[in-house]
Copies of this chain bind each other. A is one copy, B any other.
């Protein structure tokens, strides 16, 4: 019986054309982040199943590919749940493994530690167009830096990177978990229900103020509190400038917001606006929530006009390393939406800058010292960094040459048995 030639459900083969763009973008990302002092690290693709199911990952924990226990450890006969037969899982993101990594290697790492990770993650999501069950994430994180220098550097590095890839006129939306909380407290919402409140708030860009109001009332929140809450967002609607927005917010909710939080937001904005090298706007977005429960401070998101949704994001998560290390370590990270960037470049038929590529077509009869002579000519060009493909001439030479041209071979040389004399 023939074997299955399709990739497994929801995953894909990557062909040379896409792969070359991926390699090109990866190269820019590595170069740029390295210039900001980030150093690459890697962790295993698998993690202990207890780490992966420890309530750090929100909805992603439901999407884990679990790995079967092996040998004597596997007892199918008594198994009740999948956790009885599984000891590891494939990672669903790079943040949890990084936190484990840092806790495990803290003594061998500088502090603060600036990490760059590019790697695959897996989520057993329902497959849909442009969304795969294996995809590449690309994260930078700063661990051990409590001040907002971390946020400033993360935003500058990431925007420089996007600029070099070719994106302009995008937005970085910024908010603070403690701003979200202060606003909710000011309006008198019950802290136990903040999660539900924020899940609804997160839909603002899709369903608007009225939609959010309706949903909050449906959820049973107090109508007066909801009105008070939405009125703040109304007043902040045109306050996209961070200083302007935060000052307006403080003028409304006063000391419900820790002055340090307001100052930090304004300092980040001042430095980013003053030092940015890319063409983008830093925008205060008090409706920005970011799904993951582990964020503790600043949160941010990339919005590229060509996309509907976000194209990456991040924030501060000061308590996650502590789950592994036993003591907290300040941490802040930014993840680029790698797959979305690649998809956009492919859709726009992006051409990567290429060195000249030459094809040598050789007569089938060419052998012995004549073959060697042609290979030596190729090696000479190859040693100068050029790409030289050596291929046997086919019967349909015209078709063959067209194929080579399509593959980017701009020069094609032919070698016949009677013309190679060297």
Instruction: Report chain B residues within 8 Å CB of A51.
Output: 3-4
Number of interface residues of A (CB under 8 A): 108
- Give the docked Cα–Cα distance between A215 and B181 (Å): 76
Instruction: Name which residue of chain B comes closest to A31, CB basis.
Output: B385
A5 in complex: contacting residue of B86, B270, B325, B375, CB < 8 Å: B325
From A15, A50, A68, A76, residue with most partner B Cβ within 10 Å: A68
Give chain B nearest CB distance to A270 CB in angstroms.
Answer: 7
CB-CB under 8 A for A68 and B86, given A4-B48, A149-B392, A388-B37: yes
Q: Produce 1/0 per residue, A97-129, CB < 8 A to B.
A: 000110111001110101000001010100000
Instruction: Report chain B residues within 8 Å CB of A267.
Output: 367-368, 371
Extra contacts besides A16-B109, A277-B383 (10): CB < 8 Å: A4-B100, A4-B324, A5-B100, A8-B48, A14-B42, A37-B357, A37-B387, A46-B122, A274-B375, A274-B376
22 A-B residue pairings within 8 Å (CB atoms): A2-B324, A6-B104, A8-B48, A13-B101, A14-B42, A15-B109, A19-B40, A35-B382, A36-B382, A37-B357, A37-B387, A65-B70, A68-B85, A70-B124, A76-B80, A79-B79, A110-B404, A112-B391, A145-B392, A149-B392, A152-B371, A271-B372
Q: Which residues of A contact B (CB under 8 A)?
A: 2-8, 11-16, 19-20, 22-23, 30-31, 34-37, 39-48, 50-51, 54, 65-68, 70, 74, 76, 79-82, 84-88, 90, 100-101, 103-105, 108-110, 112, 114, 120, 122, 124, 134, 145, 147, 149, 152-153, 156, 160, 267, 270-271, 274-275, 277, 323-326, 357, 359, 362, 367-369, 371-372, 375-376, 379, 382-383, 385-392, 403-404, 407
